[in-house]
Amino acid sequence: MLSNIALYGAIETGLIYGLVAFGIYLSFRVLDFPDLTVDGSFPLGAAVAAVLIIEGWNPWLATGCAVIAGMAAGAVTALLNVKLKILNLLASILTMIALYSVNLRIMGRPNVALLTEETVLTPWYDLDLAYHQVPVLLFVIVVFIALILLWRFMKSETGLAMRATGANARMARAQGIATGAMIVLGVAVSNGLVGLAGALFAQSQGAADVTMGVGVIVIGLASLIGGEAVVTPSSVLRALIACVVGAIIYRLAIAFALNADFLGLQAQDLNLITAVLVTLAIVLPGVRSSIAGKLSRSKA
């Protein structure tokens, strides 16, 4: 039903969105900060990486700059909230809108092609692997490293302070934690991860486009919520694994839906399918527990 290439393609994109889901886990779950900046920081990362690669930079260095650009965007959102007291959701929308212009300025045009350039993937094609397997291998490594680093960070003194900030800010302050600084750091790291995802996405797809960020937040949330439904996030490690699992399941579900001819779905239906999947992911755990509740009541 699903060709090999489509399967690997889904996993490849799923791994990239796993990074986005890490970022969204950090803002939405850890800090309780609904951050829509990601719709802007994803194409920002792509734009920065693409432009620098075309300028002849080392692709890894260009990707590193994309991460820093993403972090700066996140820091702007957080500072709007912490220093200027703008509602967090609104602050992130302001940054997102601003980034649309910034991204056009960086690229100088709506899109930049990378098809003939040397990217982070180029050296890996020398390996004895099928063409569509190469990005999956590289991205598995990148996601694994990101996961381990994030996990260790969450377990560190600063990471624990960040978790306390999101869970109980008053208590965190009473413990001497500068909650404002934690929010800035957390939202910056979150968008740094999304910038990384954008940079890798541009390099694997062969282009950066100013519109490529539309709906990233929804896809990331879908991955996060879906993953949490499958892998119970009872610890930080499990929550991070849930992000990756959710992102890959989401992309596979999309690939199956688009490939199942009897459904009659086409590529332009993607956003509709996403919205339906997110709704299901949010509603289903509640339905499941209410059914479980009814069953246990009837037994008693």
Partner 1 sequence: MISATDLRLTFGKGTPLENPALKGMSLTVNQGEFVTVIGSNGAGKSTFLNALAGEVLVDSGQIIVDNLDVTKLPTHKRAGRVARVFQDPLAGTCEGLTIEENLALAIKRGQRRGLTSAVKRQYMEKFKDSLSSLNLGLEKRLGDKMGLLSGGQRQAVSLLMASLTPSSILLLDEHTAALDPKTAAFVLELTTKIIEEQKLTALMVTHSMKQALEVGSRTVMLHQGQVVFDIEGKDREGLEVKDLLGLFEKQRGLEVDDDSLLLG
| Binding residues for partner 1 (CB under 8 A) | 153, 155-161, 163-164, 167-168, 170-179
Nearest to 13 by CA among 256, 201, 143: 201
Which residues, in sequence order, are CB contacts of 194 under 8 Å at separation 6+? 19, 20, 23, 37, 38, 41, 42, 45, 70, 216, 220
Min separation Cβ 178 and partner 1, Å: 5
Min separation Cβ 32 and partner 1, Å: 11
| Closest to partner 1 by CB, 165 or 190 | 165
Min separation Cβ 193 and partner 1, Å: 17
Which residues, in sequence order, are CB contacts of 123 under 8 Å at separation 6+? none
Q: What is the biggest distance separating any 2 CA atoms in the chain, rounded to whole angstroms?
A: 70
| Closest to partner 1 by CB, 172 or 222 | 172
Contact 225/278 with Cβ under 8 angstroms? yes
Q: What's the chain's Rg over C-alpha atoms? A: 20
| Closest to partner 1 by CB, 170 or 299 | 170
Two tokens at 157? 């003194």
| Closest to partner 1 by CB, 31 or 38 | 31
With residue 113 as reference, give the H or E element that holds it: strand 111-113
The Cα–Cα gap between 290 and 300 comes to 15
Min separation Cβ 27 and partner 1, Å: 16
Min separation Cβ 108 and partner 1, Å: 39
| Closest to partner 1 by CB, 29 or 251 | 29
